[in-house]
């Protein structure tokens, strides 16, 4: 009997083979025609049981160091951990330029820590879709905790963070970005607010500001990722909050919303090559209204646009 290569790859993923997990994620990112077969064959129970934690905040807040500490805490409990590091892209190569493997070097030799960097490359919907698929592949590969670390606090980060079951907003004193982060609406999506570098001047003031801004909706935790201070308490709270969200229906509701978003993101991503080809074929006059041209493009593809937009 000839065994289908995808079936073999799925078996290797479920056997927790790190290389197979990496190959499976690449298959999806490359829009391989077999990606659908792969994703459909993953164990749904492991996907249901995974916990996805989003970590965002302004550059310089210490997100990567804190992520490394959280990895160590979860590993000490015997959990296999997956990390999706969303990095900005090189304008030349299009590749990720922060180098997550350098940032996660202390865990580089741990076979139960699976790290994947995903470059933005100017994508939004496509990146969200690929990140969601990567999460499920990691879960099928035995990762019970998935950490998504983003590069900053922009709209794209908020969209990616919407894939998470629990979101941490990490801030640090002296960055000057606290108010901007609040205006960006991150306080609306954050479950836990983390004031990192808590031994630095201004940490107490920032903590009070965050507590006031949160209006008791989000909890504020102090950590110092360099020394590990407060990380154990933060991890315990994450685990407890995950239990609460599972029991009160919050997790189920968020996953339903995330699934709907992923469907839309995949639809846009799958249409992108067709839209690009059609746009090149039509007369995109620079003097014409881009919105009107977009409507003409959709009409040519027999897609109905929303007239109210």
Number of domains the chain is built from = 2
Residues 6+ apart with CB under 8 A from 134: 25, 28, 82, 84, 116, 118
Flag whether pLDDT at 214 surpasses 90. Answer: no
pLDDT-derived band of residue 100, with 50, 70 and 90 as boundaries?
very low
Flag whether pLDDT at 121 surpasses 70. Answer: no
> Does 78 share its domain with 125?
yes
Domain boundary among 196, 214, 248: 248
Using CA atoms in the order 159, 164, 170, 175, what is the torsion angle rounded to 10 degrees?
A: -10
> Does 176 share its domain with 304?
no
> Does 143 share its domain with 262?
no
Domain boundary among 248, 266, 294: 248
> Does 183 share its domain with 309?
no
Domain contains 78: yes
pLDDT (tens digit per residue) in 33-48: 899 999 999 999 999 9
pLDDT (tens digit per residue) in 273-306: 888 888 887 776 665 677 788 888 888 877 776 6
> Does 128 share its domain with 258?
no
Domain contains 5: no
Domain contains 34: no
CATH number of the domain that residue 227 is part of: 3.40.50.300
Flag whether pLDDT at 90 surpasses 50. Answer: no
Report the C-alpha gap between 116 and 181 in whole angstroms.
26
pLDDT-derived band of residue 208, with 50, 70 and 90 as boundaries?
confident
Domain contains 12: no
Mean per-residue pLDDT, 94-117: 66
Domain contains 204: yes
> Does 236 share its domain with 289?
no
Q: Give me the pLDDT at residue 255, please.
A: 94
pLDDT-derived band of residue 143, with 50, 70 and 90 as boundaries?
very high
Enter the pTM of the model: 0.85
Q: Give me the pLDDT at residue 18, please.
A: 94
Q: Give me the pLDDT at residue 92, please.
A: 40
Q: Give me the pLDDT at residue 97, please.
A: 41
Domain contains 37: no
Flag whether pLDDT at 188 surpasses 90. Answer: no
Percent of the chain with pLDDT over 90: 43
> Does 200 share its domain with 255?
no
Domain contains 33: no
- The range of the structural domain enclosing residue 106 comes to 42-248
- Residues in the chain, total: 309
Flag whether pLDDT at 22 surpasses 70. Answer: yes
Residues 6+ apart with CB under 8 A from 119: 87, 88, 89, 90, 94, 95, 96, 97
> Does 191 share its domain with 280?
no
pLDDT-derived band of residue 146, with 50, 70 and 90 as boundaries?
very high
Report the C-alpha gap between 30 and 273 in whole angstroms.
13
Domain boundary among 205, 233, 248: 248
Q: Give me the pLDDT at residue 211, please.
A: 83
Q: Give me the pLDDT at residue 88, please.
A: 61
> Does 261 share its domain with 217?
no
> Does 243 share its domain with 309?
no
SS3 assignment for the chain: CCCCHHHHHHHHHHCCCHHHHHHHHHHHHCCCCCHHHHHHCCCHHHHHHCEEEEEECCCCCCHHHHHHHHHHHHHHCCCCEEEEEEECECCCCCCECCCHHHHCHHHCCCCCEEEEEEECCCCCHHHHHHHHHHHHHHHHCCCCEEEEECCCCCHHHHHHHCCCCEEEEEECCCCCCHHHHHHCCHHHHCCEEEECCCCCCCHHHHHHHHHHHHCCCCEEEECECCCCECHHHHHHHHHHHHHHHHHHCHHHHHHHHHHHHHHHHHHHHHHHHHHHHHHHHCCCCCCCCHHHHHHHHHHHCCCCCCCCC
> Does 211 share its domain with 306?
no
Q: Give me the pLDDT at residue 185, please.
A: 65
> Does 126 share its domain with 71?
yes
Mean per-residue pLDDT, 97-121: 69
Q: Give me the pLDDT at residue 9, please.
A: 95
Domain contains 4: no
């Amino acid at each position: 009997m000839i065994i289908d290569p995808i079936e073999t790859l799925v078996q290797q993923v479920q056997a927790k083979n790190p290389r197979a997990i990496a190959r499976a994620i690449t298959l999806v990112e490359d829009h391989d025609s077999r990606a659908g077969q792969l994703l459909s064959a993953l164990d749904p129970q492991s996907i249901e049981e995974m916990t996805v934690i989003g970590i965002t905040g302004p550059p310089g807040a210490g997100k990567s160091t804190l992520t490394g500490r959280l990895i160590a805490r979860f590993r000490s409990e015997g959990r296999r951990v997956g990390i999706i590091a969303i990095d900005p892209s090189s304008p030349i190569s299009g590749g990720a330029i922060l180098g997550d493997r350098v940032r996660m070097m202390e865990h580089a030799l741990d076979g139960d820590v699976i790290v994947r960097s995903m470059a933005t490359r100017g994508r939004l919907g496509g990146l969200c879709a690929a990140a969601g698929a990567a999460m499920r592949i990691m879960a099928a590969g035995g990762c019970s905790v998935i950490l998504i670390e983003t590069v900053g606090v922009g709209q794209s980060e908020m969209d990616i963070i919407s894939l998470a079951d629990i979101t941490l907003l990490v801030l640090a004193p002296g960055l000057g970005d606290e108010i901007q982060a609040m205006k960006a609406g991150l306080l609306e999506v954050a479950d836990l607010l983390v004031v990192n570098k808590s031994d630095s001047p201004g940490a107490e003031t920032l903590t009070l500001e965050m507590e006031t801004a949160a209006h008791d909706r989000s909890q504020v935790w102090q950590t110092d990722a360099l020394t590990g201070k407060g990380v154990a308490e933060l991890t315990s709270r994450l685990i407890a909050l995950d239990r609460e969200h599972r029991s009160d229906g919050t997790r189920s509701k968020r996953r339903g919303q995330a699934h709907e978003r992923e469907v839309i993101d995949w639809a846009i991503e799958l249409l992108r090559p067709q839209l690009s080809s059609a746009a090149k074929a039509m007369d995109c006059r620079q003097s014409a209204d881009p919105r009107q041209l977009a409507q003409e493009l959709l009409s040519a593809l027999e897609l109905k646009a929303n007239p109210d937009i």
